A and B are shown apart, each in its own frame.
Chain A
Amino acid sequence: MGGMTIEGARLRPLSEAGRDAARVLEIVAGGYAGFAPVVGEGEAVLAWCRALLGSSAFACNERWVRFVAASDAAGRSAFGTVENALWDLVGRKLGVPLYELLGGALRQRVAIAAPVRIAAEESVEAVVAQAKRLVDGHGFRTLALFDGGTAGQRTASVLAALRVAFGPAMGLRLHLPAGSVRPARDAALTALGLEFVECAGDDASEEREAWAGDPPLAGGRGLAAGPLIAEMCRRGVVQVLVAEPGSAGGVPGIARLGALARAFQLELALACAGGSRWELALAVQLAATQPMAEQAVLCPDAAALSDVEDGMLTLSGAPGIGVDLAPGLGDAAPEDTAS
């Protein structure tokens, strides 16, 4: 298919706060525009766009090869952002939702996890009340507990209280920030029946091997499919792959993680880095096409989950990622444009 040459790109602000606020990448090819939330540094996204000017919007494998050759954290996010916008663009051009480009949806409704946060000053009862409001309002069946760095006895108390409050059918997960201490693996922790514990930033840690067991360990967030993820799979030190579409190499990166998950029989948990509607819609569509993505999609911002009903989001049939720019958005600054 000809005539789909990448012609230009710009970073548009999602609010009046301009360059300091969340931005969306708008990329143009063949008279169509595609959009994706900017993950990571805007400058890196624009630099990658400039490198792609004049190339085909469809040639994602050629881009992947170039990306793999020069991959770091900033590069991964820039690559993922641009890929997501290009896949949105292709969907719009062909008039089909992203999931149809990927082979069709395996499920029309996708489970969403409710984010529950432990603030330093919050009591156990207050955390349970926070979770109850979310469950009562939207029917969530999975609670994702974000520990603010206090992992230990207090976290275990919160998890135990949530289990008592919501019963054995409620999915419970624990997300620990980088550098925090894992809770002791003991009978009490195992008895809580957690879906998994994610310990950010320790994917290369040798402790993982020793900790493997119940509850399962999740990892891989922010990584793209490659030697490190492959080694984690090979050694069996991860039971759940956490996949962020922005930082894992975008749509083609998630496809590769999905393949690894199938080959090594791991679960795949789609997650959003931020709380934009684009990220959530994208993660939901990707989860709908991945056989191993039966875990609820994680969005860290409860405010973005207003459309969740019965703990699920229903796929839209809109083209591409399925989210349009709100009218009246500001234009991009000249320095945020590649053409």
Chain B
Amino acid sequence: MSAIARITLRRIELKLRMVYVSSMYVMDSVRRTVIEIETEDGIVGIGETLGTDEVFVLAGRLAAGMIGQSPLARLKLRNGFARSVFDNRNGRTGWSAFAGLDLACWDIAGKTHGMSLAELLGGGGKRRIEVVCPLPALIVDRLVRRRELGAMFRDHRNIDRLVAYALAQRRRHGFRCFKYKSAAADVEWDVAAMRALREALGRDAQLRFDPNAGYGPARATALCARLEPLDLEFYEDPTDDIEGLAKLRARMTRPVATNMCVIQLDHLAPAIRRGAIDVVLADIFMWGGVQNYREMAAVAESCGLKVAVHSLFESGIGTAANLHLASGLPQIARANDSGHHVIADDILSPSLPDVADGHLPLPVGAGLGIALDPASLARLTVGEPVIVTA
């Protein structure tokens, strides 16, 4: 296999079709890092990861260390990056930076062997993947300051707009699974919103509740106890930390999931020993790439945990990667988080299809099975690309 000759990193900004209100964000666009790794013999692997300043800078620094190495030596690249918890990780930033580069290397491996990412993972039989419809805590028409939200949460008539949005999304895309993003600002609003969603969407709909660990353990436990009759699919990060989740889970009958408190392999053992969670809602861009993700899924499977795919708002690259994970890994049996239908623009040619009947099709072709659209990429790029060569 020829060595890595050139790595190009770009930051893109993707507009959303809604204002996304949660306990962490009020936003109408998202930034992502897009990575192209080119080998000496001209194979180009595509990757993506978070687009924060820190991740973008660190990914560029890591890329410099990959020039001249084989993209198929993925284990060695991972070992070189983070041999121990002390190296490079910078919380989740380091693993996020590595994830984009790792994904591009897997794309190269697939293109080299003529296999899709899902096939490389030992699967690929599942051709349609169910996806989740994200619901903001509140429907607003423009970006607002967080302090303005308080008054809106106190007026429960605003819940009608949230329910109407969910129903419209179901009519348009056929969703059967919904994730409500709590702003963790008002318990009464959250309970009322979840009750209204359950009533409007019916008992067949899967409902997830996600306040991004914004409530303390006591309030979260009291709140989730009130949500128990709603028979939710799971409580996602209802409170913070492995210890907090463990205490809450001991009091609930419905499953507890996390994408914030168990995001590295070394978090699994304490979470399992403490009985903190039922579902690892794992984000490939926090877990540090495909190999880490696959190992997490193997541990979860052995230890009786379920696995589901987390997503924020990715470009088509990240969405494709998540579809391959769901098709390739047998441990993933729940619907994928996905913001695909909320992204107003994309950088692929052809674009991924729209969500239909609540599902997205697995891209066909070697590697991720996608190709970049240079014009869209150029149009959406923010700042100057970083090009790393020998």
**B113-A94 in contact (CB<8A):** yes
A119 interface contact, C-beta 8 A:
no
Report the count of interface residues on B (CB-CB < 8 A): 37
**B74-A262 in contact (CB<8A):** no
**A263-B269 in contact (CB<8A):** yes
A212 to chain B, nearest CB (A): 15
**A229-B72 in contact (CB<8A):** no
For A231, the closest partner residue in chain B by CB is B303
Interface of chain A residues 56 through 73 with chain B (CB within 8 A): 56, 58-62, 64-65
**A104-B70 in contact (CB<8A):** yes
**A252-B122 in contact (CB<8A):** yes
**B295-A263 in contact (CB<8A):** yes
Contact of A59 among B124, B295, B298 (CB under 8 A): B124
Please give, as numbers and ranges, the residues of chain A lying within 8 Å of B18 by CB-CB distance.
none
For A64, the closest partner residue in chain B by CB is B330
B274 to chain A, nearest CB (A): 10
**B272-A103 in contact (CB<8A):** no
Given that A103-B74, A105-B76, A234-B272 are contacting pairs, would A61 and B295 also be in contact in the complex, using a CB cutoff of 8 Å? Answer: no
For B83, the closest partner residue in chain A by CB is A291
Contact of B295 among A60, A64, A262 (CB under 8 A): A262
**B72-A100 in contact (CB<8A):** yes
Given that A1-B115, A94-B113, A234-B273 are contacting pairs, would A227 and B73 also be in contact in the complex, using a CB cutoff of 8 Å? Answer: no
A interface footprint on B112-128 (CB within 8 Å = 1, 0 otherwise): 01111001011111000
Please give, as numbers and ranges, the residues of chain B lying within 8 Å of A64 by CB-CB distance.
122, 330
B interface footprint on A49-61 (CB within 8 Å = 1, 0 otherwise): 0000000101111
Contact of B299 among A59, A96, A259 (CB under 8 A): A259
**A59-B125 in contact (CB<8A):** yes
For A252, the closest partner residue in chain B by CB is B122
**A260-B75 in contact (CB<8A):** no
B301 interface contact, C-beta 8 A:
yes
Given that A100-B72, A256-B298, A259-B296 are contacting pairs, would A61 and B328 also be in contact in the complex, using a CB cutoff of 8 Å? Answer: yes
B interface footprint on A254-293 (CB within 8 Å = 1, 0 otherwise): 0110111011110000000000000000000000010100
Given that A94-B113, A255-B298 are contacting pairs, would A104 and B74 also be in contact in the complex, using a CB cutoff of 8 Å? Answer: yes
Interface of chain A residues 200 through 218 with chain B (CB within 8 A): none
How far is A175 from B359 in the complex, measured between Cα atoms in Å?
53
**A260-B302 in contact (CB<8A):** yes
Please give, as numbers and ranges, the residues of chain B lying within 8 Å of A260 by CB-CB distance.
298-299, 302
Given that A62-B123, A104-B74, A227-B302 are contacting pairs, would A258 and B295 also be in contact in the complex, using a CB cutoff of 8 Å? Answer: yes
A79 to chain B, nearest CB (A): 14
B266 interface contact, C-beta 8 A:
yes
**B266-A263 in contact (CB<8A):** yes
**A262-B265 in contact (CB<8A):** yes
* A interface: dominant SS: helix
**B298-A104 in contact (CB<8A):** no
Contact of A265 among B115, B269, B291, B298 (CB under 8 A): B269
For A253, the closest partner residue in chain B by CB is B298
**B295-A259 in contact (CB<8A):** yes
For B113, the closest partner residue in chain A by CB is A94
**B268-A263 in contact (CB<8A):** yes
A296 interface contact, C-beta 8 A:
no
How far is A258 from B292 in the complex, measured between Cα atoms in Å?
12
Please give, as numbers and ranges, the residues of chain A lying within 8 Å of B202 by CB-CB distance.
none
A226 interface contact, C-beta 8 A:
yes
How far is A229 from B299 in the complex, measured between Cα atoms in Å?
10
A interface footprint on B244-282 (CB within 8 Å = 1, 0 otherwise): 000000000000000000000110110011000000000
**A225-B72 in contact (CB<8A):** no
A329 interface contact, C-beta 8 A:
no
**B72-A61 in contact (CB<8A):** no
**B304-A62 in contact (CB<8A):** no
Interface of chain A residues 239 through 262 with chain B (CB within 8 A): 252, 255-256, 258-260, 262
Please give, as numbers and ranges, the residues of chain A lying within 8 Å of B265 by CB-CB distance.
259, 262-263
Choose among B295, B304, B328 the residue with the greatest number of A CB atoms under 10 Å from its CB.
B295
B368 interface contact, C-beta 8 A:
no
B329 interface contact, C-beta 8 A:
yes
Please give, as numbers and ranges, the residues of chain A lying within 8 Å of B70 by CB-CB distance.
104
A156 interface contact, C-beta 8 A:
no
Please give, as numbers and ranges, the residues of chain A lying within 8 Å of B116 by CB-CB distance.
1
**A102-B75 in contact (CB<8A):** yes
Please give, as numbers and ranges, the residues of chain A lying within 8 Å of B115 by CB-CB distance.
1, 58
**B72-A234 in contact (CB<8A):** no
Please give, as numbers and ranges, the residues of chain A lying within 8 Å of B266 by CB-CB distance.
263, 265
**A1-B119 in contact (CB<8A):** yes
Please give, as numbers and ranges, the residues of chain B lying within 8 Å of A256 by CB-CB distance.
298, 301-302
Please give, as numbers and ranges, the residues of chain A lying within 8 Å of B291 by CB-CB distance.
103
**B76-A229 in contact (CB<8A):** no
How far is A289 from B123 in the complex, measured between Cα atoms in Å?
21
**A259-B73 in contact (CB<8A):** no
Please give, as numbers and ranges, the residues of chain B lying within 8 Å of A129 by CB-CB distance.
none
A325 interface contact, C-beta 8 A:
no
Interface of chain B residues 79 through 120 with chain A (CB within 8 A): 79, 113-116, 119
**A61-B121 in contact (CB<8A):** yes
Please give, as numbers and ranges, the residues of chain B lying within 8 Å of A259 by CB-CB distance.
265, 294-296, 298-299
**A264-B269 in contact (CB<8A):** yes
Please give, as numbers and ranges, the residues of chain B lying within 8 Å of A106 by CB-CB distance.
75-76, 79
**B72-A104 in contact (CB<8A):** yes
A interface footprint on B292-330 (CB within 8 Å = 1, 0 otherwise): 001110110111100000000000000000000000111
Please give, as numbers and ranges, the residues of chain B lying within 8 Å of A103 by CB-CB distance.
72-75, 291
How far is A208 from B264 in the complex, measured between Cα atoms in Å?
29
Choose among B70, B119, B296 the residue with the greatest number of A CB atoms under 10 Å from its CB.
B119
For B305, the closest partner residue in chain A by CB is A230
How far is A233 from B124 in the complex, measured between Cα atoms in Å?
31
Binding site for B on A (CB under 8 A): 1, 56, 58-62, 64-65, 94, 96, 100, 102-106, 225-227, 229-230, 233-234, 252, 255-256, 258-260, 262-265, 289, 291
Q: A1-B113, A1-B114, A259-B294 are in contact. List 4 more A-B contacts (CB 8 A).
A: A62-B123, A100-B72, A227-B304, A289-B75
14 contacts between A and B (CB under 8 A): A1-B113, A1-B116, A58-B122, A59-B123, A100-B1, A103-B72, A104-B73, A227-B302, A230-B303, A234-B273, A234-B303, A258-B295, A259-B294, A260-B298
A-B pairs, top 7 by smallest CB distance, nearest first, are A104-B73, A259-B295, A259-B298, A60-B122, A103-B75, A61-B122, A256-B298
